[in-house]
Each structure stands twice: as C-alpha cells, then as structure tokens.
Amino acid sequence: MIIAIFSPSQNPYSETFIQAHKSYIKTEKTYYIYGNSLENMIVEDEGLLINSKQRLFYKAVSKLLKREKKKYFIKTAANKLKSLKVDVALVEYGNHAVKLIEVFKKADIPFVVHFHGYDISVDRTIRQNNNYKSLFAAATFVIGVSKLMCKKLQDLGCVKKKIIYTTCAANPSFENIQPDFETKQALAIGRFVDKKAPYYTILAFKQVIEIFPKARLLMVGDGVLFNTCQNLIKYYNLSDNIQLVGPKTPDDIRLLMQESYCFLQHSVTAEDGNQEGTPVAVMEAALAGLPVISTKHAGIPDVIEHEKTGLLSDEHDVNDMAQNIIRIFRNKDLAFKLAQNAKNIHTEKYTLKNHILTIEETLKKSIE
C-alpha cells in the first residue's frame, strides 16, 4: 500500500512515536506531509503540497470572484494525493485531522486518525473542533494510546467499533540496556510543560537529598518551564545534586539510562485539561530495565503496575513520590525486581513491533 502520514511538524525531538511510524510501517511507499495549514503543507523530500504558482493563482481567482480560496486549495491538495496514488492516510493528532477531512473526501481516500494526548484532553481544543463530531463520522478508524483516551473518544461520540487501542512503544534498542544500580542517580526525561510537572519532580527529589546527600537527578528536555525549574533549583541550593541538561539524542539517552538507578516522571492533569497519552519515555525506561517512579495519570497505569513494575503516586502527591524514591534507594533488591519485571513485560507485550503491526492492520482494513 501507498500511505501518506500527515503531521503538524517535521521532526520535533519529543515526537519519537511519529518518527517510529515514518520508519517502521511497512509500505510500498510512504509520503510524510507536514505543516499546520493546507496552504503551507510540505511533502517531505518533494516540496509543497500546493505549489507556489497554484497558491498565487487561486488567491487571485478567489479575490476576483469573491469566493473562498479554501475550496480551491482542497481540490488541488486532493488532486495531488490522487497523483501520488495514495491508498490511505494516517493523520497524527485529532485537531490536525479536522483540517484535512474535506481533502480526503474529495480525493476519495480513507483515513485513520491517531490521537496522542492534548488533542483529546484540552477542553479548548475539543470545543474548537466541535467535539470532533465531523471527524468521527468521516474517519475509518480512530486510534487511542491509553484506555482512558479510548473512553474519552467514546464519550465524545465515536462509535466503539471505530476505536483502536494501542499504546506507543519504545525503540527495541532500549532492551539492550542493563543498569547496574551502583550509583544513586535518577533520570527524568520530558518537555518542561505543565502536564509533566517537572517542578514536582524537583521538590520530591529535594526530600531524597536530605536522606541521600550524594544522590543526583538529571533532567533531560526543554520547554516553557525550564527557567522556572532552574530558579527553583537555585533557590533551594540544589545545583550540586540536580542538573537540567537540555534535550539529548536517543544515543545520549540510552547512555544516561545505562548509568542511572531509576526513572522519574510526575505527570499531572494541567489546568486546561491537558493530559499525557502513554508517555514513550516511561516505556523506554521500563524496557531499559529502570524502575519507574511516576503517577497514576492517563495511560501510565496501563503500562506500569504499582508494586510490580514500578511505584505510582497520586497526582500532586510530592511526599509520596519522594518516599517511593527513598524506598528503592534503600532497597536495591526491590529496585532490581521492579526493573526486571518491567523489562520482561515490555519486551513481550508493549513492543514497537506490536504497535506498528496494529497500525499496519488498521490501515489495510481502512483500504478494504
């Protein structure tokens, strides 16, 4: 099959799940088309979906005839997909898919929508897209990455038979990591944004340092709360123990996991409703054999079982998270047991192979 993957951005460092779709879905040909609006979408390695001459011409025609230029862009984009002989489209993010419904209808191409998190949890986003009513009606299938997300899709009106549940997954290379649990170093990976609450992770680790003065926390990532977290670290004089190291490559992250003792993530529901899907970094850590200390948030309890493959706290419960970190720092056998259980389950069940296979089968069913 020939597929087109649509996404708002080309290669953001945090969207490893989209890069996995580009790299591993088996097709005769995959076109990756990115851009926030139909007018500026780019077919990777080929150029604009609607070329410059066409855009200028249709703008002039719409102005002259006092007609909406959007319909001309829809027709041109549809013709382009037909010329590329696209059989089916996979659209990353529900709110992005809404922009493309009429194009797919015009081109007579089935499409699958992959929801990821904010697109089905932020109240404003859902309202702006009219509760996704037209999208659910037009899409062949809709993918959710957590059980909570699938329930939300159904609550908003998507018929159950269209909903496909599959968690994202870690790259298999993380399976080769074998931490030695010799150094009291914790690792946190993720964007510095409200739903990941990096400040809570810092406050929890502050309590850990009181018991283990030489313990270290490395925080990988960037975002709007980066400076706030830097200031928090300086205010509490924690710079010797907690370091913000910025974004890192997958190779760097694997090396950091190899030398770390546990993985931390204090995800919460943001004030605007924003939630995680199932965080890939959590799954990478589990596959790498690191005990995961996190929260009972969104899809995290789907893939991390409390007391079996990790330790989970309620959202905003900084004290409990701190106690969970202290507990495994004190008990190396517990840390090793949690890590091995997680590694075994994620090696067998939550694999990238299973995730990609589910998407491939969904795309094929869409064509049929």
Domains of the chain: 2-169+351-367 (3.40.50.2000), 172-348 (3.40.50.2000)
**The tokens 């979906």 sit on which residue?**
49
User: Which residues does 28 contact at the CB level (< 8 Å), separation at least 6?
Assistant: 1, 2
Does this model's pTM top 0.85? yes
Other CB atoms closer than 10 Å to residue 182's CB: what's the count? 9
Q: What is the pLDDT of residue 322?
A: 98
Q: Are 97 and 6 in contact (CB under 8 A)?
A: yes
Question: Beta-strand (E) ranges in 276-319?
Answer: 292-295, 310-313
Q: Which residues of the chain have pLDDT under 70?
A: 13-14, 58, 61-69
Distance between CA 133 and CA 262 in Å, rounded? 42
How much is the pLDDT for 69? 66
User: Within a 10 A sphere around the Cβ of 187, how many other Cβ atoms?
Assistant: 25
- Written as six digits, the tokens of 203 are 């406050």
Rounded Cα gap, residues 213 and 191, in angstroms: 27
pLDDT value, residue 355: 96
The neighbouring-strand residues paired with 48 are 42
- Give the separation between CA 48 and CA 304, rounded to whole angstroms: 42
Alpha-carbon distance of 354 to 363, in angstroms, equals 14
> What is the reported pLDDT for 66?
63
Burial class (CB in 10 A: 0-12, 13-18, 19+), 243: middle
